[in-house]
Amino acid sequence: MGNVVVVGSQWGDEGKGKIVDILARDADVIVRFQGGSNAGHTVVTPKGTFIFHLLPSGILSRGKQCVLGSGVVIDPGALIDELDHLAARGVKVGKSFAISSRAHLIMPYHKAIDKAAEKAKGARRIGTTGKGIGPAYVDKMARIGIRMGDLLHPNGFREKVESNLVEINGFLRHVRGARGFAADRICDTYRTYARRLAPFVVDDSLLVHKAMARGRRVLFEGAQGTHLDVDFGTYPFVTSSNACAGGACTGVGVGPTSIDAVLGVTKAYTTRVGSGPFPTELFDDVGSGLRERGQETGATTGRARRCGWLDAMVLRYAVRVNGCTSLAVTKLDVLDGVRELNIAVGYRHRGKLYREMPVDARVLTECRPVYETLPGWSGMTTGVTVYKALPAEAKRYLRRIETLTACPIAIVSTGSHREHTIMLDNPMTHTRRTRSRPIRPRRPRATAGA
């Protein structure tokens, strides 16, 4: 049976929520493996639009086991709000939902530290959501984090809170000029959370291993995107967790030999929220047109997304570090009516031509993209469900993406609704997929763009 990892191939916001929702039909277990409530996965259904911040996007599929893995940092208040919101809309979550006992908790002081640190950076701010994600991961690595399992033991939980507050309150008051926290108030609030969430707490690694042993299909859902990965993203403008495919192993407790396929999700163009390098960003009417037609507003932050041309350098890098076996291309319909389409196939920086994505964020900030231009299409792709029905230019554009990334496209999304999808090759229904022989990209004629 297929065990598939779904990851973002750009800077997040690629449409992973819809893709996971579709693939969940053929999965038995859906596991979110990293990140926190800074994620925003949108799923459009006949019952309306659902936005998930912590819950796996597969939660809408009946009879599926959904799990928050050990690599996720959990704001219990936000999770309960999300569960209550679902219940109010007729989606009941019972025994089919589980939370890892190893998952770390976001505490009130994490949010205070996050906001104060971002404010202190001024013009150097990264653009965090202020939800305490980074500080929670800092405490995890510093070995002073508090986990879901601790929430079930009131005395031990209080000891850890009191110990942490000795240093944290001093830091907030004397370094950041912010108010401190009272242990009693935190413990009372989190005791309420414990009563609500205790029935869901499990050993996630054991649960997933048992499912695999019974031949169940497991779908691993990532948040954010490859270029926000704390190790392989555009550091320091990244998130605080491993958003690459490898995070599925460390964030759930399964070995890499358990993974059968990796699906990288990419938009047909590129977007980014927050600060950081973005070589193909557009500041003209084309960019604002993409933003308007694509409704490019962050589901979590409400911030307008920066928009630009598709960047093959970004995608090729993502295919390599994730070991992608296929791609899902979303929002193809947003390009309808654009007369000419540019794809970045290289970068120029101080006289040097880059054919692979440089590690140095300063180079990415200063470089100029080298573009290949393809003709756009005048026909409508919105709602198309058969590949043959796409305009010839759209098919040419998709084939060029495959060639430039040396990775086949398995899914094409032509709209926000579930049914607006072209399924070329469902990775969930394969057994031990092997990668097709890489296609060697041609060296295209290129022109330097601003």
Pick from 450, 420, 421, 425: nearest CA to 436 = 425
* Displacement of CA 70 from its chain's centroid (Å): 16
Cα–Cα dist 231/244, whole Å: 9
3-state secondary structure (DSSP) of residue 313? helix
Catalytic residues, by residue number, are 13, 41
Strand 340-349 relative to strand 326-330, pairing? unpaired
Structure tokens at 411: 């899914």
Query: Is residue 98 exposed (0-12), middle (13-18) or buried (19+ Cβ within 10 Å)?
Result: buried
Structure tokens at 45: 């259904």
**CA-to-CA separations, 221 to 20, 21, 105, 262, in angstroms, rounded:** 7, 10, 19, 10
Cα–Cα dist 82/197, whole Å: 12
Residue 270 φ then ψ, to 5°: -130, 140
Cα–Cα dist 396/227, whole Å: 26
Crossing angle for the helix pair 154-174 and 108-121, to the nearest 10 degrees: 20
Structure tokens at 419: 């049914």
Phi-psi region of 62 (alpha: psi -120 to 50; beta: other; left: phi over 0): beta
Strands (E), 78-217: 97-100, 104-105, 201-202
Structure tokens at 283: 């500041």
User: Alpha-carbon Rg of the chain, whole angstroms?
Assistant: 22
Structure tokens at 203: 């050993």
Pick from 236, 234, 235, 220: nearest CA to 427 = 220
Which residue type occupies 13? D
Pick from 55, 2, 65: nearest CA to 32 = 55
Pick from 18, 30, 85: nearest CA to 63 = 30
Residues 6+ apart with CB under 8 A from 209: 253, 254
Cα–Cα dist 89/75, whole Å: 22
